[in-house]
């Protein structure tokens, strides 16, 4: 099986998963007791308004028909009207999602970069003090909820030491660069605005780090264990016997095969980051779609809830396909194994 | 594969002395790692504090609707080791009672999740290559396609926010992990000789699944349960942090962190101590779980 069939099979599988997910989400948005139309217009609206809305939202029809309409609209990017902001949900999401994406992407970069670095250092100095330190840090990182990290970082670096900004994406006195991608760091680079770039980066550090901690710890642990396993393999011994310098062995022959498990886990951890963003954005007052989602959840804004989860699901699945492709490129055993789709 | 593949029936023939010896050997293996002992001690301590909270807590009345403005917002001192919150409730006592909710959450979720998750995994693994496997595992994929916290948040949000509903929400999200774990185990075990012989003898599939395959999956399941106690408590505290779990004035650990975060940085103790309490509980269960994993040699978890 070559890599193209592999990718196609993976994509088809994902489409089915997404379809199933949409059913689950639709189910969630319909198990709620009460009449969605009544909730949308408020308790004091006259009955005919509710009846009209009923027809408009297809609430009179059987559930499978409702699902069909909902899915059809969702595929066209129409998730209905938010009960809270009174605007189309898709517009809200368009506005808020880039902030979340920027934050999680930043966290993902820290996670992968720092995790692999720490894991490599740890494996290279196995059982020395630095290895033990990394292991303790990664253990604590894994078991600490990201909202606890967020609060501790906020308290320590934001409030007590006053090093870092504590909320938002930009300082008040820095004008926002024009929206091109919605990611402030990228936009400010594109428009040649170093002041906004560094300010945005500065704002990203604390929430990004709080989000990245658990994944970072995981990555460090896995990199360390695969690396130290691989260090004992015969091929490394034979390279050493040939007199290849240790640094070259590390970089050219050890790193690539050792990164495969790390990268697979990185995909999963990225998803974890997206869900933890729900809490971290709340703490740092980050105007992203996760904070929007949480507020929607607290106010039972069904259309917005469904949209936020569906988009998260899509992002998660796309990231996992990308990870699979990268892993398949790195590991010929997966790419070439016949009949394995996952 | 490190799963014990010997016939489970043989194990039951073992005399009581033999079993005790086995237990002793296992304990020896477990206790070699100091971290496992630390984990076990932490877990036992938390359980003890939770059970006897009304007796041990220095100010048990702080767990409920209680106001003492004379002692409000005190920083940690002798009388209030972790300080008091803005209406004068002792943080330490509230943490002890908070352990109760956390442990209840973990236990109830696992009780609700493990039997169906494991059964589905066994059925899918045993019926490998049939439509039954496809249906079960594809449904599992759907639930695993979104991070558990997000769907749990969504489900908890459409229900009335309280501890019970947050447990339901987390449970609905958690069973696929057991299905996937057991599926992996069962699909290898199903081709073992003892399963083939049982089939040749005409054993029913229920017998094979529950009496032949399941006993060989117990150690990984146990290990995962111990680790999951920590993770479920973590997710539960996240839910209560956003207000979808334990409701005030009941002392949920996440609720306490959220309430206290309004008073940062001046009254840091209100949120920092409950936050650390969450870390301690999760850490304890994790160290314990890692110890069990080494003891059972259950590397699949």
**pLDDT tens digits, B134-160:** 899 988 988 887 777 888 888 888 888
DSSP B211: I
B213 and B122 in contact (C-beta within 8 Å)?
yes
How confident is the model at residue A317, as a pLDDT? 84
A267's CB contacts (< 8 A; 6+ apart) are A319, A320, A322, A323, A324
Phi then psi for B33, rounded to 5 degrees? Answer: -95, 115
Partners of A81 in beta bridges: A88
Which is nearest to A305 in space by CA: B269, B117, B152, B184? B152
Chain A residues whose CB is inside 8 A of the B159 CB are: 32
A220's CB contacts (< 8 A; 6+ apart) are A114, A115, A116, A118, A119, A122, A134, A137, A138, A141
| pLDDT single digits (tens) A71-98 | 888 888 888 888 777 788 888 888 888 8
Closest CA of chain A from B153, distance in Å = 8
Cβ distance of A278 and B150 shorter than 8 Å: yes
Of B240 and A176, the structure prediction assigns the larger pLDDT to B240
Cβ distance of B151 and A155 shorter than 8 Å: no
Chain B residues whose CB is inside 8 A of the A147 CB are: 238, 241, 254, 257
CA neighbours within 13 Å on the CB side: how many for B174?
Answer: 28
Closest CA of chain B from A209, distance in Å = 18
How confident is the model at residue B155, as a pLDDT? 84
The total number of residues written for chain B in this structure:
301
Cβ distance of A297 and B242 shorter than 8 Å: yes
In order of A17, A57, A64, A74, A91, the CA distances from A69 in angstroms are 19, 9, 9, 8, 20
Which is nearest to B213 in space by CA: B105, B131, B122, B291? B122
B25 and B31 in contact (C-beta within 8 Å)?
no
A192 backbone φψ class: left, alpha, beta (φ>0; ψ -120 to 50): left
- Residue B96: pLDDT band with limits 50, 70, 90: very high
CB-based contact (8 Å) between A311 and chain B?
no
CB-based contact (8 Å) between A84 and chain B?
no
CB under 8 Å, gap of 24 or more: what pairs does A168-175 form? Answer: A168/A203, A168/A284, A168/A285, A168/A286, A168/A287, A169/A99, A169/A102, A169/A200, A169/A203, A169/A204, A169/A286, A169/A287, A170/A196, A170/A199, A170/A200, A170/A203, A171/A199, A171/A203, A174/A199
How confident is the model at residue A340, as a pLDDT? 44
Cβ distance of A155 and B145 shorter than 8 Å: no
Cβ distance of B264 and A282 shorter than 8 Å: no
In order of A184, A195, A196, B34, the CA distances from A201 in angstroms are 9, 10, 8, 42
How confident is the model at residue A33, as a pLDDT? 64
Which is nearest to B66 in space by CA: B89, B93, B86, B85? B89
Which is nearest to A204 in space by CA: A150, A147, A165? A165
How confident is the model at residue B207, as a pLDDT? 92
Nearest CB to A17 within list B145, B150, B156: B145
Nearest-CA residue of chain A relative to B153? A297
How confident is the model at residue A243, as a pLDDT? 87
Nearest-CA residue of chain B relative to A15? B142
CB-based contact (8 Å) between A242 and chain B?
no
B245 and B169 in contact (C-beta within 8 Å)?
no
User: Which is it for the CA torsion B275, A285, A94, A308, positive or negative?
Assistant: positive
Asked if the model's pLDDT at residue B5 lies above 70, the reply is no
Residue for token pair 């185990």: B185
CB-based contact (8 Å) between B119 and chain A?
no
How confident is the model at residue A1, as a pLDDT? 52
Partners of B84 in beta bridges: B90
The three-class DSSP label of residue B33 is coil
CA angle B204, B190, B206 (to 5 degrees): 25
In order of A14, A34, A328, B188, the CA distances from A316 in angstroms are 10, 31, 18, 29
Chain A residues whose CB is inside 8 A of the B157 CB are: 296-298, 300, 305
The domains found in chain B, sorted by start residue, are 32-295 (1.10.3720.10)
Burial class (CB in 10 A: 0-12, 13-18, 19+), B250: buried
Phi then psi for A8, rounded to 5 degrees? Answer: -65, -45
User: Which is it for the CA torsion B127, B130, B132, B134, positive or negative?
Assistant: positive
Cβ distance of A298 and B257 shorter than 8 Å: no
Instruction: Report the mean per-residue pLDDT for chain B.
Output: 86
Which is nearest to A302 in space by CA: A26, A18, A71, A69? A26
CB-based contact (8 Å) between A284 and chain B?
no
Closest CA of chain B from A46, distance in Å = 25
A82 and A187 in contact (C-beta within 8 Å)?
no
Cβ distance of A298 and B234 shorter than 8 Å: no
Cβ pairs A/B, distance under 8 A:
128
CA–CA gap between residue A1 and residue B193 (Å, rounded): 32
- Tell me the residues of chain A between 16 and 55 that have a Cβ less than 8 Å away from chain B: 16-18, 20-21, 24-25, 28-29, 31-32
CB-based contact (8 Å) between A11 and chain B?
no
CB-based contact (8 Å) between B261 and chain A?
yes
Structure token pair of residue A72: 């059809």
Distance from chain centroid for Cα A137: 22
The total number of residues written for chain A in this structure:
342
Structure token pair of residue B96: 């002890």
Show the low-confidence residues of chain A (pLDDT under 70): 1-3, 31-36, 39-42, 333-342
Cβ distance of B155 and A145 shorter than 8 Å: no
The dihedral over CA atoms of B129, B132, B134, B135, expressed in degrees to the nearest 10, equals 180
How confident is the model at residue B1, as a pLDDT? 40
How confident is the model at residue B108, as a pLDDT? 95
Cβ distance of B158 and A32 shorter than 8 Å: yes
Cβ distance of A143 and B142 shorter than 8 Å: no
Asked if the model's pLDDT at residue B106 lies above 90, the reply is yes
Cβ distance of B157 and A18 shorter than 8 Å: no
Chain A residues whose CB is inside 8 A of the B149 CB are: 272, 275-276, 278
B16, containing H or E segment: helix B16-31
CA neighbours within 13 Å on the CB side: how many for B62?
Answer: 31
Percent of chain B with pLDDT over 90: 40
CB-based contact (8 Å) between A298 and chain B?
yes
């Amino acid at each position: 099986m070559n890599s193209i069939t592999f990718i196609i099979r993976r994509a088809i599988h994902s489409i089915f998963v997404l379809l199933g997910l949409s059913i689950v989400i639709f189910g969630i948005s319909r198990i709620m007791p009460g009449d969605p139309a009544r909730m949308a217009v408020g308790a004091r609206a006259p009955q005919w308004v509710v009846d009209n809305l009923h027809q408009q939202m297809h609430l009179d029809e059987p559930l499978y028909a409702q699902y069909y309409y909902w899915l059809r609209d969702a595929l066209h990017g129409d998730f209905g009207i938010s009960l809270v902001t009174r605007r189309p949900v898709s517009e809200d999401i368009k506005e808020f999602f880039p902030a979340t994406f920027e934050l999680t992407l930043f966290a993902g970069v820290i996670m992968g970069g720092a995790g692999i670095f720490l894991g490599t250092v740890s494996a290279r100095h196995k059982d020395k003090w630095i290895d033990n330190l990394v292991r303790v840090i990664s253990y604590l990182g894994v078991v600490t909820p990201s909202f606890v990290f967020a609060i501790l970082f906020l308290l320590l670096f934001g409030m007590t030491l006053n090093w870092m900004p504590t909320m938002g994406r930009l300082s008040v006195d820095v004008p926002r660069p024009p929206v091109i991608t919605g990611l402030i760091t990228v936009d400010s680079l594109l428009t040649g605005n170093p002041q906004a770039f560094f300010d945005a980066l500065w704002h990203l550090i604390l929430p990004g780090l709080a989000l990245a901690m658990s994944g970072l710890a995981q990555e460090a642990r896995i990199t360390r264990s695969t690396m130290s396993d691989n260090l004992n393999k015969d091929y490394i011994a034979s390279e050493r016997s040939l007199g290849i310098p240790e640094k070259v062995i590390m970089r050219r022959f050890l790193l690539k095969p050792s990164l495969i498990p790390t990268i697979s886990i990185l995909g999963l951890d990225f998803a974890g980051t997206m869900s933890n963003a729900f809490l971290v954005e709340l703490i740092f007052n980050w105007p992203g779609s996760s904070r929007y989602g949480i507020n929607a959840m607290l106010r039972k804004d069904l259309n917005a809830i469904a949209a936020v989860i569906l988009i998260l699901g899509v992002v998660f699945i796309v990231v996992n396909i990308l990870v699979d492709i990268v892993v398949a490129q790195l590991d010929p055993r997966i790419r070439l194994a016949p009949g394995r789709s996952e | 594969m490190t799963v014990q593949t010997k016939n489970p029936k043989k194990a039951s023939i073992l005399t009581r002395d033999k079993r005790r010896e086995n237990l002793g050997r296992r304990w020896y293996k477990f206790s070699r790692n100091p971290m496992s002992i630390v984990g076990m001690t932490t877990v036992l301590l938390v359980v003890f504090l939770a059970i006897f909270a009304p007796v041990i807590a220095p100010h048990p009345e702080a767990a409920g609707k209680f106001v003492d403005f004379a002692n409000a917002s005190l920083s940690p001192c002798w009388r209030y080791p972790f300080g008091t919150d803005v209406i004068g409730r002792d943080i330490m006592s509230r943490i002890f009672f908070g352990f109760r909710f956390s442990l209840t959450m973990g236990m109830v979720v696992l009780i609700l999740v493990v039997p169906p998750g494991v059964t589905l995994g066994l059925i899918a693994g045993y019926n490998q290559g049939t439509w039954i496997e496809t249906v079960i595992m594809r449904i599992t994929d759907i639930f695993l396609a979104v991070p558990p916290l997000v769907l749990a948040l969504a489900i908890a949000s459409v229900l009335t926010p309280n501890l019970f509903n947050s447990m339901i929400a987390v449970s609905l999200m958690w069973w696929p992990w057991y299905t996937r774990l057991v599926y992996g185990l069962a699909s290898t075990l199903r081709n073992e000789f003892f399963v083939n012989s049982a089939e040749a003898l005409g054993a029913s599939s229920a017998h094979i699944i529950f009496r032949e395959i399941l006993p060989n999956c117990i150690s990984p399941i146990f290990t995962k349960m111990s680790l999951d106690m920590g993770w479920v408590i973590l997710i539960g505290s996240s839910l209560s942090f956003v207000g979808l779990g334990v409701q005030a004035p009941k002392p949920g650990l996440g609720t306490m962190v959220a309430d206290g975060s309004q008073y940062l940085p001046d009254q840091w103790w209100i949120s920092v101590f409950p936050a650390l309490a969450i870390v301690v509980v999760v850490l304890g269960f994790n160290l314990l779980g890692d110890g069990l994993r080494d003891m059972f040699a259950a590397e699949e978890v």
